[in-house]
Amino acid sequence: MKVIPVPCLSDNYAYVLVDTEGKRVAVIDPVDPEKVLAQVESLGMKLEAVLTTHHHADHSGGNNEVAKAKPGLEIFGGDLRIPSMTKQLQDGEEFTLGSLHVRVIQTFGHTTSSICYYVQDKLNDERVVFTGDTLFVGGCGRLFEGTPQDMYDSLNVKLAALPRDTKVYAGHEYTNSNFKFARSVDGDNSDLIAKALRCAALSITMPSTIGEELDTNPFMRVDQPALQKATGKTDPVEVLAAVRQMKDNF
């Protein structure tokens, strides 16, 4: 399995997911169709599917053009607001892309159309998750349609349960600004400090891993004393709500 980040717009990421065994390709959130399809064409492999993380136009806005360019393409999504969708997915649903195994993780919070795609290459013992605007490196998405409880469940129940070595590919390059905020509420975290320094020198900070996020992301550390002290809360959901509000105003 190979994942190729494709920077789009000002700070978005689309991704090209390559099944290196079966010589097949899927794309995630191809918001710049010309750029993404050019990357696909350079590989000389068959494009089989579009995986849409949520309905916002800066993620799903290229679907119609990709569908026109590639008739018969399967376009997956989480609700009826996904343009050109051919298959609406449910939480826990599983399917294959060539030799790759995909599991759908419904992750409400940012929107009620948000889903993450957990992809396993069992032949090579590799695993990745495409998290859209639910989980960022060092942060999470704003709560436009969901509640703090929704986001807590998405991050700290569902995504936190994935293997620590799962590579995380998020929907935006927000890493350095996220770390500035994270250090304001969790400033003694040596793992956070070290990762922030590493990422400061990078133009593309993807991928992270689930393990690194559990160690450095304040929204996945809401049970830790440092975050409880910063917010004055002890209930993890209330801590997440408070940290999100602090980030919104940072």
- Known catalytic residue at 55: no
Other beta carbons less than 10 A from residue 63's beta carbon: 25
C-beta of residue 149 within 8 angstroms of C-beta of residue 189: no
- Known catalytic residue at 153: no
Q: Which of 19, 29, 32, 54 is catalytic?
A: 54
- Known catalytic residue at 58: yes
Q: Which of 19, 55, 150, 172 is catalytic?
A: 172
Q: Which of 19, 29, 55, 110 is catalytic?
A: 110
Pinpoint the alpha helices (H) of the chain.
Answer: 33-43, 57-60, 63-69, 148-152, 175-185, 190-200, 210-216, 225-231, 236-248
C-beta of residue 220 within 8 angstroms of C-beta of residue 156: yes
Widest Cα–Cα separation across the chain: 55
- Known catalytic residue at 91: no
Q: Which of 58, 79, 191, 235 is catalytic?
A: 58
- Known catalytic residue at 59: yes
Q: Which of 19, 29, 133, 153 is catalytic?
A: 133
In the chain, the N- to C-terminal Cα span, in Å, equals: 38
Q: Which of 19, 29, 55, 56 is catalytic?
A: 56
> What is the spatial distance between Cα 225 and Cα 211, in angstroms, rounded to a whole number?
19
Residue 244's nearest CA partner among 149, 176, 173, 172 is 149
Q: Which of 59, 121, 153, 186 is catalytic?
A: 59
Q: Annotated catalytic sites, by residue?
A: 54, 56, 58-59, 110, 133, 172
